[in-house]
Amino acid sequence: MIIVTGATGKLGRRTVERLLDRFPADHLGVSVRDPRMAQDLADRGVRVRQGSFDNPASLVHSFEGAEQLLLVSLDRTGEECVTGHRAAIDAAVKVGVGRILYTSQMGAAHDSRFQACRDHARTEDLLRATGLPWTALRNGFYAASALQFLDSARRTGDIALPADGPVAWTGHDDLAEATAAILADEGRFEGPTPSLTGPTALDFGAVAEIATQTTGRSFTRTVVPDAAFREQALGHGAPAPIADLLVSIFAAARNGEFAGADPALAELIGREPATFRTLLEHAWAE
């Protein structure tokens, strides 16, 4: 059985759908905080069990019988994130999971300027220490994050953000398809994968040009100092740790941590991944 955590989230849910294209429903299970959110999966024959990263006993129950576990990384940062991942990995070891796949990120490193990438590196260390077969999916930076950064620009026409660097923005759908392919081919990767990215790395200057070409409106790119951007985030209600996290994304991008577009994702899904232009057009058509 393949068990997927976070199966009601953006990546987890898409991955379950792609797995249902490859496996019978009774070969799949999901571990979710609120089973009611996965009732439609239960209706289709997927095993649904409640599992909380804050309740290790619940994870042991929800991972029972797993030959493979897809551990979708938590939407947390720092020690809280790593502690939750440790609880899931310990539960997987306890029930004898055959293989763990973890949704890491390109640029995962202990010295990354981006806190999430440091958390991913620490989680990969935990996986390495289990002695179990494991795979870290070095996913490209989600294009959905770039689209969130463009929310105000969509209204104003001005992309006012800190100085950045090229990022290989990557779509959730392509990553879900690749994840399902790797789960279906159990020996495909051991340890970290190559970076699973979109076809081209773009900075927000290039994004402004794409937005202009796509919409026929004029978009400009204004560089905002890091400190001023942080103050803006705080002014909009972001807690200080989140404001710091947002600033660190741009610092890491300036350091080239997300710039390496790689062909591995295209090879896994058998086609070119969606371009940022396509993802932008789709999102802004809604």
pLDDT, residue 188, reads: 78
**What's the mean pLDDT when you consider all of the chain?**
96
C-alpha triplet 145, 149, 151: angle, nearest 5°: 115
pLDDT, residue 102, reads: 98
Q: For the chain, what percent of residues have pLDDT higher than 90?
A: 96
- Tens of pLDDT along 234-257? 999 999 999 999 999 999 999 999
pLDDT, residue 33, reads: 93
Closest-CA residue to 124 (of 54, 188, 189): 189
Average the pLDDT over 32-43 and give the result: 95
Q: For the chain, what percent of residues have pLDDT higher than 70?
A: 99
pLDDT, residue 285, reads: 87
pLDDT, residue 286, reads: 67
Closest-CA residue to 75 (of 173, 144, 147, 6): 6
Whole-number Å distance between alpha carbons of 267 and 119? 28
pLDDT, residue 186, reads: 66
Q: Which CATH architecture fits 2-139+171-192? A: 3-Layer(aba) Sandwich (3.40)
pLDDT, residue 61, reads: 96
| Residue 267, both tokens | 């090879």
Domain boundary assignment for the chain: 2-139+171-192
Residues 6+ apart with CB under 8 A from 10: 142, 144, 172
Residue 153 has pLDDT above 70, yes or no: yes
Q: 188 or 222, which is more confident?
A: 222
| Percent of the chain as helix, strand, coil, to the nearest 5 | 50, 15, 35
- Tens of pLDDT along 154-210? 999 999 999 999 999 999 999 999 999 999 986 679 999 999 999 999 999 999 999
- Tens of pLDDT along 88-122? 999 999 999 999 999 999 999 999 999 999 999 99
Taking the CA atoms of 143, 146, 151 and 156 in sequence, report the sign of the dihedral they define.
Answer: negative
Confidence grade of residue 34 (pLDDT, cut at 50, 70, 90): very high
Average the pLDDT over 15-44 and give the result: 96
| Residue 97, both tokens | 């999971």
Average the pLDDT over 267-281 and give the result: 96
